[in-house]
Amino acid sequence: MGKTREEKQVMLEELKQTLSEAQLVVAIDYKGLSVAEITNLRRRLLEKGSSCTVAKNTIMGIAIKDDSTWQPMQELLQGPNAFLFLKDDLGAAIKAYQEFQKVTKKTEFKGGVMEGRLLNEADVKAIADLPSKEELLAQVAGAINNVATKLAVGLNAVPTKVAVGINEVPGSLGRAIAAIAAKEEGDAA
């Protein structure tokens, strides 16, 4: 028995809400996956702050129809699809799917959509290879710390160099007076 109109409307609203929260959506052919395997995939993605939904292509088509961000997904809406909605840590979620794919060897990557662009498998793998949010924050913190250290070392060097310069003034002044005196003696003779 099919879903009622009300159930389809609820599913459509849930899809629209999930799309509004996602940064990247990946479509996969899930043909051949058992209920336990799709549950395993959902669990893996949930741990990474993402989700997996099996939806009819017609309902997904309606959900993306008026949203230019997701319209390129229209090209992926053929055959059985499961949609991976990736939210925060894109790299970790993509890696979770890739590990699942290696283990089951049953899913097929169809494509992804991000910021209104259709992505192929190489594009999505490149996103997975980017450093995580935590790694980027650590790199920025390290760079800021490095700049602060160099600034402190530089500021410490200024008083030392000023002191050396001040110590040189009396000696230089004495040599200048001696030179002038020697020149005046030479001119007088």
What pLDDT tens digit does each residue of the chain (189 aa) get?
A: 577 888 889 999 999 999 999 999 999 998 889 999 999 999 999 999 999 999 899 999 999 988 888 999 999 999 999 999 999 888 889 999 999 999 988 889 999 999 999 998 888 888 877 776 677 778 788 778 777 677 777 767 667 766 666 767 676 767 777 778 778 877 766
* The token pair that represents 169 in the structure block: 């003034």
Q: According to the 3-state scheme, what is the secondary structure of the chain?
A: CCCCHHHHHHHHHHHHHHHHHCCEEEEEECCCCCHHHHHHHHHHHHHCCCEEEECCHHHHHHHHCCCCCCHHHHHHCCCCCEEEEECCCHHHHHHHHHHHHHHHCCCEEEEEEECCEEECHHHHHHHHHCCCHHHHHHHHHHHHHHHHHHHHHHHHHHHHHHHHHHHHHHHHHHHHHHHHHHHHHHHHC
pLDDT score at 183: 80
pLDDT score at 158: 67
Nearest to 110 by CA among 33, 45, 118: 118
Q: Residue ranges of the domains in the chain? A: 5-130, 132-189
**Of 3.40.190.10, 3.30.70.1730, 3.30.1300.10, 3.40.50.720, which CATH number belongs to 5-130?**
3.30.70.1730
* pTM of the full structure: 0.67
SS3 of the chain: helix, strand, coil, percent, to 5: 65, 15, 20
* The token pair that represents 79 in the structure block: 């055959």
Nearest to 133 by CA among 92, 172, 170: 92
The type of residue at 78 is: Q
